[in-house]
């Protein structure tokens, strides 16, 4: 059995999720990485350090990579293999296409993986994180899509593994997508996914600019990253890259401060494993209070400015 870990290059480095998956998989034995991107010695060295024993690299250039990556991967994955993917956009595209090519099921939203016995068993949390389900695949190969941050990435001592370049296969019309432009939406402050403190803002902030300012200012004072609900990114108050939740980022900071966030299930799955959760909401019935260690029922435009003033005075 070989474990495959899918890795999409991000800003020249391996994706954070691939290092988490490698950390988990290296205890099972050989781990082959399927790498999509231009690659570099540093990137490959990092993968080796986290446990990759071989790397297969495919550079799709400006093509939308999912169709060619899935086709190339399907030639490499054997019947008793397991293929792990993160929840990244390209990772999910490849996981879906690969499973259709191989005719095998996808175990999605995994929060743990158990290879004991002769089956691959995956835990996941359903119904808004209230219920844990263990699902087993009845046939191989098995494609597993793992939620971010369920395994902590820890560097090991592996050397740079051998790297094989994979030719871009011809998949006809399926491969016809082309990336014309790439835009990075700059955000200030620490990286949302790695920050020790996150200040999350919801629709209750009431708008962008001046209305949003208390969130940004509080984050600045605490050295925190700013996050947001989907309602807020949809409204265009802040970039999509700040969205926390099911379709956005998953955060696990020491402290999460929710300002004007109702606490919809799709938001909670992205932050419920935070250390200390503080929520400010004017509605005493808001679901966010059911998971908050401290809930303040009040107006964000009173409580947050008062908090900012007190912090500034220290």
Partner 1 sequence: MKIAVCVKQIPDPAAPYDLDPDSHFVVRPNDQVLDDTDRYGVEVGLQLVEQVGEEATLTLVSMSPAGSLQGIRQALAMGADRAIVIDDETLRGADALTTAKVLAAALQEDGFDLVIAGTESTDGYAGVMPQQLAELLGVPSMSFARKVDRDGDTLRIERQTEDGYAVVEAPFPAVLTVTSGVVEPRYPNFKGIMQAKKKPIETRSCADLGVVPEVQQVIQSVEPIPARQAGEVVEDEGEGYLKIIEKLEEAKVI
CB of 75 to ligand FAD, least distance (A): 23
* Cis before 125? omega within 30: no
Q: Which does 286 bind (CB under 5 to 8 A by kind): partner 1, ligand FAD, none?
A: ligand FAD
Query: Smallest distance, Å, CB 96 to partner 1?
Result: 3
User: Torsion angle, CA of 83/85/89/92, rounded to 10 degrees?
Assistant: 40
**Token pair in block for residue 60:** 């799709």
For tokens 């016995």, what's the residue?
117
Quick one: what does residue 214 bind among ligand FAD, partner 1, none, with the CB cut-off 5 to 8 Å set by partner type? none
Q: Which residue among 83, 106, 142, 163 contacts ligand FAD (CB under 6 A)?
A: 106
Question: Contact at 8 Å (CB) between 21 and 5?
Answer: yes
Calpha distance 44→163 (Å, rounded): 8
For ligand FAD, which is the closer residue by CB, 42 or 234? Answer: 234
Among 97, 149, 252, 267, binds partner 1 (CB under 8 A): 97
Contact segment (CB under 6 A) with ligand FAD among 1-9, 72-80, 187-195, 295-303 equals 295-303
- Which positions from 138 through 157 interact with partner 1, judged by CB under 8 A? 138-139, 145
Indicate the residue among 56 and 149 with the shorter CB distance to ligand FAD.
149
- The answer to whether the beta carbons of residues 287 and 274 sit under 8 Å apart is no
Give yes or no for a contact between 151 and 43, defined as CB atoms under 8 angstroms apart.
Answer: no
From 20-28, 48-56, 206-214, 286-294, span contacting partner 1 (CB under 8 A): 286-294
> Residue 75's closest CA among 108, 34, 116?
34
CA distance 271 to 232: 16
CA-to-CA dists, residue 36 to 6, 56, 251, angstroms: 8, 9, 25
Query: Of residues 162-201, which lie at the interface with ligand FAD (CB under 6 A)?
Result: none
Please select the residue that binds partner 1; options are 134, 155, 159, 208, rule is CB under 8 A: 134
Residue ranges in 48-77 that form contacts with ligand FAD under rule CB under 6 A: none
Asked whether the CA dihedral 75, 80, 81, 84 is positive or negative, the reply is: positive
Determine the size of the site formed for ligand FAD (CB under 6 A): 33
- Comparing CB distances to partner 1, the nearer of 22 and 67 is 67
Site string for partner 1, 223-242 (x = CB under 8 A): -------x--xx----xxx-
- Which member of 38, 78, 152, 179 binds partner 1 (CB under 8 A)? 179
> Rounded to whole angstroms, how far apart are CA atoms 98 and 92?
10
């Amino acid at each position: 059995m070989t474990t495959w870990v899918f890795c999409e290059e991000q800003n020249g480095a391996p994706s954070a999720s691939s290092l988490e998956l490698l950390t988990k998989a290296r205890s099972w034995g050989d781990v082959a990485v399927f790498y999509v991107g231009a690659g570099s010695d540093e990137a490959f060295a990092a993968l080796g350090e986290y446990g990759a024993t071989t790397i297969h690299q495919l550079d799709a250039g400006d093509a939308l990579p999912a169709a060619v990556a899935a086709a190339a991967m399907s030639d490499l994955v054997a019947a008793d293999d397991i293929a792990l993917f993160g929840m990244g956009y390209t990772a999910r595209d490849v996981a879906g296409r690969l499973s259709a090519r191989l005719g095998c099921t996808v175990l999605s939203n995994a929060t743990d993986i158990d290879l004991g016995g002769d089956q691959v068993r995956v835990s996941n949390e359903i119904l808004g994180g209230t219920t844990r389900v263990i699902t087993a695949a009845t046939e191989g190969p098995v494609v597993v899509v793992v939620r971010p941050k369920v395994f902590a990435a820890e560097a090991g001592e592996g050397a740079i593994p051998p790297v094989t370049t994979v030719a871009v296969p011809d998949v006809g019309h399926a491969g016809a997508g082309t990336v014309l432009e790439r835009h990075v939406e700059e955000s200030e402050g620490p990286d949302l996914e790695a920050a020790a403190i996150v200040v999350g803002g919801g629709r209750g902030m009431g708008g962008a600019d001046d209305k949003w300012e208390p969130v940004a200012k509080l984050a600045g004072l605490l050295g925190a990253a700013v996050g947001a609900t989907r309602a807020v990114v949809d409204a265009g108050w802040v970039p999509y890259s700040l969205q926390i939740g099911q379709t956005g980022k998953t955060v696990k900071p020491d402290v999460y401060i929710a300002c004007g966030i109702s606490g919809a299930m799709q938001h909670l799955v992205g932050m419920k494993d935070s250390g200390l959760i503080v929520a400010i909401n004017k509605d005493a019935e808001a679901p966010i209070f059911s998971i908050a260690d401290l809930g303040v029922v009040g107006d964000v435009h009173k409580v947050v400015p008062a908090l900012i003033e007190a912090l500034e005075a220290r």
